[in-house]
Amino acid sequence: MFDYMDFLAVGPGETLDFYTASPCMLQEPSQTACFTGLTETDWQVHRLSQSVETQSSSSEDLFASPLSPPPPPRTYKPCFVCQDKSSGYHYGVSACEGCKGFFRRSVQKNMVYTCHRDNNCIINKITRNRCQYCRLQRCFAAGMSRECVAHKGNHTRAVRNDRSKRKEKKETPKMTIIETYELTAELGCIVENICRAHRETFPSLCQLGKYTTNSSSDTRIQLDLGLWDKFSELATKCIIRVVEFAKRVPGFTGLTITDQITLLKAACLDILILRICTRYTPDQDTMTFSDGLTLTRTQIHNAGFGPLTDQVFTFAGQLLPLEMDDTESGLLSAICLVSGDRQDLEEPSKVEVLQEPLLEALKIYSRKRRPSMPLMFPKVLMKITDLRSISAKGAERVVTLKMEIPGSMPPLIQEMLEEMENLEKQKQSEEEQRADKNITPTHTHTLSMSTQYIDTGLFA
C-alpha cells in the first residue's frame, strides 16, 4: 500500500490532503503518522538518493559488459559473368560494376546485338568487351533479371523526384556548372590528321558536281547491268580510297602486314556504308557517290544492293539527327578500322592500344562541339553496332550477287567483301594442304591484292 501511495504522492502535504479528502480510503493513524514525520527537505533527499542509486546501477551494468568485436568485412563471390572482382549483388547475381552497367544499359535501351562468330564467345575479364551479344547472353544465363532493372529504375526515379521536391523548397541560389573539354596536344594532332585524311579521301557532298541517270528509275528489278557496271567501277575506287585512309590512321602501318589486311577486310564495308550514308539527301531520297553520280533508292536497289537497300537507307536516316561533321565521321571510321575484337588478329592488344586515343579524341571533340548534349558521344559510338549488322548482311549479298552478274566479280571487291564463311573454308583447306604436303602457308596469295595496295608506295 505504501508503494502505491508513494507513486501517487508528490509530497507529504499532498498525500495528507488526499487521504483526508477521500472518505473511501482507510484513515489509520499509524499510516498518517509515517508521513507527518517527513518534511519537504527529507522527501527531496530521499528521492535524490534513489535516483543516484539507479544511475549507479545502470552505469555498472553498462561497463560490466565487454565490447563486442566489429563484424567481419563483407565478401562477395567473383562476377558470375566475367569472373572479375564483384562489387555486390546486382539484378539478382554477384556482378562487377562493368557487367552491372552493361546489363542495365542493354535492357533499358532494348539493345539488339549481333555475334560475328558462332554465338559462343568466351566471356572473361579480358574478352568481355569484344562481343556484346555473347556477353548479354552470359548475363541472362548467370541469372540477371530484366524485372530487377525495371524495378530499380522506378525506385531510382521516385528517389530522384523526392530529392527534387526537397531542393525546390530550399531558397538557395542555384549555380549552373558547365563542364569544359579540351583536347591535349597529342589528341589535337590525332584529330587534325584523321580529319585531313578523311577529307582528302572522301570529298563532301558540297564539293561534288551531282549528275543523275534515268536508267531503271521507276521499278525495282533484280539487277540493272548498266548500273551494276557503273557501281562496281565506283566501288573499286572507293575501296582504294579506304586503303589510303587506313594508311594515314596513326599507328596503323606499324602493325604487321597480316593484321593490316585483316583489319581492312573486316572494316572496309563498314566504312564504305558509313561514307555513302553521309551523302544521303532525305528530301529526294537519294545518295551521291564519289564522282557525283546521284541515284534514287530504286536505282541503288537495281545497281546491286538488292534487299540490303532499305536497311542502308534506314541507317542513313538515323545518322541525320546526329549531325556529324567530317571530323566525327573520320574518327568513327578510324575506330571501326582499328578494332581489337576482329577475328584472326596476330596482335590484338596492339590494335586496342591504337583505338584508345581515337575513342578519347571522339569523346572530347563531340562534347566540346555540343556542350549541352553529353549523350551524343555514346549515340555516335553505338552506330558501330548498326554498321556491323549491315556489313554482315552485305557479305551475304555479295555471295548472291555473284550468281546474278554475267561475268566475274571485280577482284578487289571480291577480296574485300567476300563472306567470312568462305574465308574460313579456304583457311581450313589451306591447313589441310599444308598438313598433307608440308608446304608454307598460302594465305599470302589470297591477300595478294590487298598486299599490293599496302606494300607499294601507291598512296605514299
Return the higher-pLDDT residue of 14 and 91.
91
Q: What is the pLDDT of residue 230?
A: 93
Contact assessment for residue 383 and residue 312, using Cβ atoms and an 8 Å cutoff: no
Q: What is the pLDDT of residue 412?
A: 87
Helix, strand or coil, per DSSP, at residue 15 = helix
Distance separating alpha carbons of residues 435 and 429, to the nearest angstrom: 10
- Do 358 and 255 share a structural domain? yes
Output the CA angle 72-77-79, nearest 5 degrees: 140
Give percent of the chain with pLDDT exceeding 70: 67
Return the higher-pLDDT residue of 265 and 147.
265
Q: How many CB atoms lie within 10 A of CB 62?
A: 8
Closest CA to 316 of 205, 456, 195, 425: 205
Q: What is the pLDDT of residue 181?
A: 73
3-state helix, strand, coil in the chain (%, to 5): 65, 5, 35
Residue 147, H or E segment = helix 146-169
- Do 309 and 213 share a structural domain? yes
Q: Decide if 50 is inside a domain.
A: no
- Do 328 and 259 share a structural domain? yes
Q: Decide if 233 is inside a domain.
A: yes
Closest CA to 131 of 106, 97, 95, 94: 106
φ, ψ for residue 217, nearest 5 deg: -95, -5
- Do 237 and 96 share a structural domain? no
Q: What is the pLDDT of residue 251?
A: 95
Closest CA to 353 of 345, 312, 133, 205: 345
Beta bridge partners of 296: 286
Q: Decide if 205 is inside a domain.
A: yes
- Do 267 and 130 share a structural domain? no
Closest CA to 417 of 294, 279, 296, 269: 269
Confidence of residue 21 (pLDDT cuts 50, 70, 90): very low
Half-sphere exposure of residue 329, counting CA atoms within 13 Å on the CB side?
27
Give percent of the chain with pLDDT exceeding 90: 42
Confidence of residue 180 (pLDDT cuts 50, 70, 90): low
Please report, for the domain that includes residue 311, its CATH number: 1.10.565.10
Cα distances (Å, whole numbers) of residue 340 to 127, 187, 350, 384: 10, 20, 8, 14
Of 155, 177, 206, the residue that ends a domain is: 155
Q: Decide if 1 is inside a domain.
A: no
Q: What is the pTM of this model?
A: 0.58
Q: Decide if 460 is inside a domain.
A: no
- Outline where 170-277 has alpha helix (H): 185-201, 225-247, 257-277
Which range has the worst mean pLDDT, 173-187, 189-203, 233-247, 371-385? 173-187
- Do 447 and 343 share a structural domain? yes
Which range has the worst mean pLDDT, 51-60, 254-263, 278-287, 319-328? 51-60
The average pLDDT across 38-58 equals 49
Ranked by mean pLDDT, the top range of 20-34, 60-74, 411-425 is 411-425
Of 109, 134, 155, the residue that ends a domain is: 155
Could you tell me the end-to-end alpha-carbon distance of the chain, in angstroms, rounded to an integer? 113
Of 155, 171, 199, the residue that ends a domain is: 155
DSSP secondary structure letter of residue 222 = S
Distance, CA of 299 to chain centre: 36
Which long-range contacts (C-beta less than 8 Å, at least 24 apart) are formed by 36-44?
Answer: 36/12, 38/12, 39/12, 40/11, 40/12, 40/13, 43/11, 43/12
φ, ψ for residue 22, nearest 5 deg: -110, 105
Which grid coordinates are listed for 396?
551475304
Closest CA to 418 of 269, 270, 276, 272: 269
- Taking only the tens place, the pLDDT of each residue in 83-100 is 998 888 888 888 999 999
Closest CA to 455 of 256, 262, 268: 256
Q: What is the pLDDT of residue 446?
A: 40
Q: Decide if 15 is inside a domain.
A: no
Q: Decide if 357 is inside a domain.
A: yes
- Do 324 and 388 share a structural domain? yes
Indicate if the pLDDT at residue 237 is higher than 60: yes
Q: What is the pLDDT of residue 232?
A: 92
- Do 260 and 402 share a structural domain? yes
Q: What range does the domain containing 434 cover?
A: 185-455
Indicate if the pLDDT at residue 349 is higher than 80: yes
- Do 265 and 120 share a structural domain? no
- Do 192 and 132 share a structural domain? no
Closest CA to 83 of 95, 93, 101, 97: 95
Please report, for the domain that includes residue 136, its CATH number: 3.30.50.10
The average pLDDT across 35-51 equals 50
Distance separating alpha carbons of residues 363 and 81, to the nearest angstrom: 28
Q: What is the pLDDT of residue 432?
A: 60
Confidence of residue 64 (pLDDT cuts 50, 70, 90): very low
- Do 190 and 149 share a structural domain? no
Distance separating alpha carbons of residues 10 and 14, to the nearest angstrom: 7
Cα distances (Å, whole numbers) of residue 236 to 118, 300, 413: 30, 16, 6
- Do 221 and 92 share a structural domain? no
Q: Decide if 435 is inside a domain.
A: yes
Number of domains in the chain: 2
Mean pLDDT, the chain, whole residue set: 77
Contact assessment for residue 95 and residue 89, using Cβ atoms and an 8 Å cutoff: yes
